[in-house]
Structure 1
Amino acid sequence: MTEALMLSTTRISTFEGARALTAATGFFFRRDGVLYLVTSRHVLQDAPGAHLPDRIEIVLHVDAQNLTRTVTVGIPLYRLGQAVWRQGADSGGEIDVAVIELEPAAVQGTVLHAFGPEHLQAALDAVPIGTPLLLVGFPLGFYDTLHHLPVARHAIVASAFGVRFQGEGYFLTDARMHRGSSGAPVVTRSASGGSMPWTLLGVHSARLDMAGRDPQEDDVLGLNSAWYADILMTLTAGAGAR
C-alpha cells in the first residue's frame, strides 16, 4: 500500500464542452467533515490566457491494494451560471488558489487521503530559508499511468518564509518545475508522525522568470511562486456554503 501523500493528490483535466484543454494538479483538503479539491485558480479560469473550461475531471483510486483500479469523476465548474469554486483576494490582489467542495456521493467508495487544518504551519518563523520541500504533482502530464500516481520534485524554501514576496501572498521555492504542476501541494516533513507526516506550506502556482533575461546567455531562474496554504482556512470557512 502506497504512502498517504501519494493518494492526497490527483490529476486534473480541464474541458470546454467535449474539447480537452489542459492538465494540472489538485489535492484534497478536509475541514469539518467536508472534502475539498484544491488547485490553482488559473487552472479553472484564466481570462487573459483565454482559458475558460466549463468542467474538469479527476481520477480517484477505488482499491487500496490494487492501484490500477480507478474511477474518473467529472465536476461541472458552473451551476446556474455561477462558478462552483471559491477563490480569495487580499491587499496584494487576487490569490491564485481555488477550492471546490466535493459532493460525498462523488467520492463514495474511493481511496484518498486529505490534508486538514492540523497540517498547516502554525509558526511561520519556524520555517528557515533552505527548508527541504516536496512538490507532488503531474509535470507535463507525466505520472505513473498504470497506477495513476503522481511524482515528486525536490525543492527548498527560497525566500523568507512568512514574508509576502514583493507584497504578494506567496513565497518562493527553488525547484525544477513544469506546466501541469499548477495546484501541487508544497510540503515539508513533519515530526508529528501519523498517517500523513507532512506539513502543508503552500500551493504551487507558476514558474518565475526575469523579463530581461537573455536566453542565449542566462539560464532560467528555476524559482517558483507558492501561495501560503493558510488561505485554505479562509476559503473553506462555512462548510456547505456555495
Structure 2
Amino acid sequence: MKNLQEATERICELKGSLVALDALVPAVLEALSEPTRARLSATFDAYAEAARTVLLHAEISDVVLASFERDVARNRAVLQGSRRADAPAVDALLLATTRVATFDGSRALTSASGFFFRRGERLFLVSSAHVFADTASAHHPDRLEIVLHTDTRDLSRHAVVSLPLYDDGLGLWRQGRDGGGAVDVAVIEIPPGLLPADATLQAFDESHLEARGEEVAAGDTLSIAGFPLGFHDTVHHLAVLRSASIASAYGVRFQRQGCFLTDARTHRGSSGSPVVRRRSRAGDQASPLAWQLLGVHSTRMDMRSRDLAEDESLGLNCAWYADVLLTLTEAR
C-alpha cells in the first residue's frame, strides 16, 4: 500500500511539473522574436524526429510512444500558434531587404537597395558594388545607413544603423571579379556590436542558393524586392516588389559575364535588390525565407543605337549570379 501511495504522489508531482511547463513555454515564446521562434520550431521538429528514432528502437510500451506523439503535436501547435493575433503577417523577404542610403560625412548622396546574407555566425549587407564606390560617376561615400526593424508586431518601430566604409583609409567592403572582369556585387560585414539588441531581421544563407531539385529556366517568374527611386512603405519601412521573369538563358554567362537578364520594370534606387524565385517545395530548411536567391539586381540594359524618339527602352536588366556571395563571404 505504501508503494502505491508513493507512486500516486509521484504521478501527481509529474502532473504539477507538466502544468508548470505548460505555463512557462508560452511565456518564453512570447519573449522571442518572430525569426527566433521560426528557427526554434524547425529545430524542435529535428530533435523530435531524432527522439522518435530512438524510441522506435527501444523496448518501451505503445503507451509511451502514443504519449510522446501526442505531446510533440501539442508542443508544435503551441510553437506555430505563438505569434500574437495582432502581429502583422509579413513575408520574410521584406525583413531581409533594407534601404541603403550613402553619405559623405553628413551629406546625403544616393539611395539604393540591399539585403542581408548570413555566413555562419557572420552577417553581411549585400548591394551593388557601384553603391559602395563608383569612379565613373565620382561617387565616393564614406558610410552607409541601413534601416532595421526592432519589433515584428509594430513594423513602424525601427533603428537606423550607420556602417563606416573605411578604416584607416582602407575600404571595408569586398567586391567581386571573375574571368569576365568586375562583378557589380559587393558585401560589407555588419559587426554584431552595431546591431540594436532588439533588431529583427531575416537573412539569406547558403541554403537559399541551392536549387534543391527544382529546375530554373528562362521565362521563370521572379520577384525583385527593393526601393525604386527610394519609394517604399515609409510607415512600416518595407520594400516593394516588382514582378519579373528570367529573360536570358539561366546558367549561361550573358555575353561571357557572370550575369543573366530579367525583364522587370526597374528604376534608380533598385540597385542591390535581391532577385528571387519562390520555392515550389518547402524542403526542410529552418529559415522562413521560402525563396531561392538567384541574383543581385544591378542596372537597366539598353541599346546605345536606340532611337529615343522611335524606339522604347528594352526593359531589360542585369542581375549578377548570387553564387558570387560564397566567394565574397569566405573567411579570411
- Please report the TM-score for the alignment, with normalisation by the length of structure 1: 0.96
Q: Which runs of 5+ in 2 are unaligned?
A: 1-87
Matched, 1:174 2:267: no
More helix by percentage = 2
Query: 2:318 is matched with which residue: 225, 230, 235?
Result: 225
* Equivalence for 1:32: 120
Q: Secondary structure at 1:140's aligned position in 2? A: helix
Give, in angstroms, the shift of residue 121 of structure 1: 3.5
Overall identity of the aligned pairs, in %: 56
Q: Secondary structure at 1:64's aligned position in 2? A: coil
The within-5 A match list for 1:1-242 is 1=88, 2-107=90-195, 108-122=197-211, 126-193=215-282, 195-238=288-331, 241=332
Give, in angstroms, the shift of residue 48 of structure 1: 0.9
Going from structure 1 to structure 2, the CA distance change for 1:65 and 1:125 (only over 3 Å counts) comes to: closer
Query: Conserved in 2, the CA contact under 8 Å of 1:124 and 1:162?
Result: no
Q: Secondary structure at 1:234's aligned position in 2? A: helix
Alignment length (residue pairs): 239
Going from structure 1 to structure 2, the CA distance change for 1:125 and 1:227 (only over 3 Å counts) comes to: farther
- Please report the TM-score for the alignment, with normalisation by the length of structure 2: 0.70
Which segments of structure 1 move beyond 2 Å, counting only runs of 4 or more?
Answer: 121-126, 191-194
Amino acid at match of 1:167: R
Query: Conserved in 2, the CA contact under 8 Å of 1:124 and 1:161?
Result: no
More strand by percentage = 1
1-structure distance, mates of 2:120, 2:299: 30
Query: Conserved in 2, the CA contact under 8 Å of 1:25 and 1:180?
Result: yes
Give, in angstroms, the shift of residue 124 of structure 1: 10
Amino acid at match of 1:25: S
Compare relative contact order (CA 8 Å, sep 6+) and give the higher one, 1 or 2: 1
Give, in angstroms, the shift of residue 104 of structure 1: 0.8
Query: Conserved in 1, the CA contact under 8 Å of 2:211 and 2:292?
Result: no
